[in-house]
Amino acid sequence: MTSDKILCGQLVEEATVITLKELCRSCTVKTEEIIIMVEEGILDPQGERLEPAQATEWQFHISSVKRVKTVVHLQRDLGVNLPGAALALELLDRIAELKKL
Amino acid sequence: MEYKDYYAIMGVKRDATAEKLKRSYRKLARKYHPDVSQEADAEVKFKEVGEAYEVLKDPEKRAAYDQLGSQWQAGQEFHPPPGWDAGFEFSGSGPQANSPETSGPDLGAFSDFFESLYGRGYARSSATSARRRQGFQIRGEDHYAKVIVDLEDSYKGTTRSITLQIPELTADGQVTTRPRTLKVRIPKGIRQGQQIRLAGQGGAGYGGGEAGDLYLEVEFNPNSQYRVEGADVYLDLPLAPWEAALGATVKVPTPSGAIDLKVPPDSPAGKKLRLKGRGIPARQAGDLYVVLQIALPPVDSEENRRIYQQMKHEFTFNPRASLEV
């Protein structure tokens, strides 16, 4: 399917934050899965109230969407556990940093 | 349809043990996983490996596949011989859901070759499509894609055509992929790693749910003479020793066109000249840094050699003074 219409997207500014609900919706994961990722240190919610009890108020940087998706894919496709996926993410970040040099 | 050599794809011999196959699969899956791999065609390779393993790890499917014989070449035109699967009972028993080894990534269905042998019922179903079947109204999934643009495009803005392979469910519940080409405006001032959100261009919704969004992540073409850090752009500029020593006005390319740059006298190698506001025209425009480098003229004639020798005699210069030797 090809359309000649030129799509003008919305630029996602680096400062964009999304709510826990939006993050779950975007990645098709459950709230509990996000809480576990936060506890594992894979995601850092922003703001003051960071206890899991206040999870519904959490906000995340937009880059979290990609991180969650990568974690889900690695778990599903390679059978790695959460700490393993977290390690892979950190190494991927480091490769990206090194490539910039 | 083309014959697929599953053993070659897995990099094993035809008599490989189940253990050997499993190890090979694990290795290849890590190597070609689209989220991790640096290989250009990782997604295609990963899908192939998943399909090959799906067949070879199952003794029944493997026996049926082996029965086709080893005379086939990969890519050869293939039609399954009539009644080829007589005596096998794999038809209809799909892979177990949610087992990490059987549920592959959302890359759509297996190849035509696979489906001609084992039927379409094996089309992979991800956790999401399993949830979709329950009849809720569900918003479509957000999709991600990378788009590579030249740095120059960020100075002017541009329009890019991108083609995506969209997995979708047909009316009878099969997963298929469909190429989809979109023309997308890349706005002026875009930076490496920034995302463009195209609302409603992601996966289709189910049960009347709205479509997901498509996120395009921008990456600059790495084959560029420029380096980019945030909104700042760096260019290495070679100079002749006399240009650096005496000062000069030299032509310098910039992403928005060549300019004349004045190099002050006595400029050392590594010196950065900042051209304010000539970086990426983001909301807060970046700067362009020209990093001076000194290129040594070759000694390719007697005359040149004489000049170097004259310099040797007339300069009192220790380039290693800072090393204290």
Q: Is the residue at A65 inside a domain?
A: yes
Q: Which positions in chain B touch A12 (Cβ < 8 Å)?
A: 194-197, 215
Q: Give the closest-approach CA distance of A23 to chain B in angstroms.
A: 10
- For residue B103, pLDDT over 70 is answered with no
The Cα A75–Cα B29 span in angstroms is: 12
**Pairs of residues, one from chain A and one from chain B, whose beta carbons lie less than 8 Å apart:** 95
A interface toward B at CB cutoff 8 Å?
A: 1-12, 14, 25-28, 62, 65-66, 69-70, 73-79, 88, 92, 95, 100
Q: Which range among A9-18, B21-30, B260-269 shows the weakest confidence by mean pLDDT?
A: A9-18
What global pTM score does this model have? 0.61
Q: What angle do CA B212, B178, B141 make, to 5 degrees?
A: 15
B86: number of Cβ within 10 Å: 8
User: Do A3 and B181 count as a contact with CB atoms less than 8 A apart?
Assistant: yes
pLDDT in tens, A46-68: 877 777 777 888 899 888 988 99
User: What torsion, rounded to 10 degrees, do the Cα atoms B194, B198, B203, B207 define?
Assistant: 140
Q: Is the residue at A41 inside a domain?
A: yes
Q: Which range among A6-15, A59-68, B223-232 shows the weakest confidence by mean pLDDT?
A: A6-15
Backbone angles phi, psi at B323, to 5 degrees: -85, -5
User: Do B181 and A8 count as a contact with CB atoms less than 8 A apart?
Assistant: no
Q: Is the residue at A2 inside a domain?
A: no
Q: Which of A1, A7, A91, A99 to mutate to test the interface with B (most CBs of B within 10 A)?
A: A7
- For residue B284, pLDDT over 80 is answered with yes
Q: For position B199, what pLDDT does the model report?
A: 85
User: Do B29 and A88 count as a contact with CB atoms less than 8 A apart?
Assistant: no
Q: Give the closest-approach CA distance of B180 to chain A in angstroms.
A: 5
Report residue B125's pLDDT band, with 50, 70 and 90 as the boundaries.
Answer: very low
Q: Is the residue at A7 inside a domain?
A: no
- For residue B107, pLDDT over 50 is answered with no
Question: What is the rounded average pLDDT of the residues B259-288?
Answer: 93
Domain that holds residue A59: 17-100
B229: number of Cβ within 10 Å: 14
pLDDT in tens, B207-226: 777 888 888 888 898 888 99
For residue A75, what is the nearest residue in chain B, using CA coordinates?
A: B100
- For residue A23, pLDDT over 50 is answered with yes
Question: What is the rounded average pLDDT of the residues B184-211?
Answer: 85
Q: Which range among B43-47, B157-161, B176-180 shows the weakest confidence by mean pLDDT?
A: B176-180
Report residue B93's pLDDT band, with 50, 70 and 90 as the boundaries.
Answer: very low
Q: Which of A7, A92, A100 sits opposite B201 (nearest CB)?
A: A7
Cα B225 from chain centroid (whole Å): 20
Q: Give the closest-approach CA distance of B60 to chain A in angstroms.
A: 23
Q: For position B136, what pLDDT does the model report?
A: 60
- For residue A72, pLDDT over 60 is answered with yes
Q: Which of B26, B28, B57, B195 to mutate to test the interface with A (most CBs of A within 10 A)?
A: B195
User: Do A76 and B100 count as a contact with CB atoms less than 8 A apart?
Assistant: yes
Report residue B305's pLDDT band, with 50, 70 and 90 as the boundaries.
Answer: very high
- For residue B105, pLDDT over 70 is answered with no
Question: What is the rounded average pLDDT of the residues B119-148?
Answer: 60
Q: Give the closest-approach CA distance of B27 to chain A in angstroms.
A: 10
Angle between helices A64-78 and A31-39 (to 10 degrees): 100
Query: Who has greater pLDDT, B19 or B129?
Result: B19
Q: Is the residue at A94 inside a domain?
A: yes
Q: Which of A6, A25, A26 sits opposite B185 (nearest CB)?
A: A6
Q: For position B143, what pLDDT does the model report?
A: 81
Q: For position B119, what pLDDT does the model report?
A: 67
- For residue B96, pLDDT over 50 is answered with no
For chain B, which domains are there? 6-124 (1.10.287.110), 143-220 (2.60.260.20), 226-323 (2.60.260.20)
Give B233's strand partners: B228, B288
Question: What is the rounded average pLDDT of the residues A22-35?
Answer: 89
Report residue B130's pLDDT band, with 50, 70 and 90 as the boundaries.
Answer: very low
Q: Is the residue at A68 inside a domain?
A: yes
Q: Which positions in chain A touch B185 (Cβ < 8 Å)?
A: 6-9
ipTM: 0.71
Q: What's chain B's average pLDDT?
A: 81
User: Do A12 and B36 count as a contact with CB atoms less than 8 A apart?
Assistant: no
What CATH number does residue A65 fall under?
Answer: 1.10.1660.10
User: Do B181 and A2 count as a contact with CB atoms less than 8 A apart?
Assistant: yes
Given a contact cutoff of 8 angstroms between Cβ atoms, the answer to whether A83 and A71 are in contact is no
Query: Considering its fold, how many domains does chain A have in total?
Result: 1
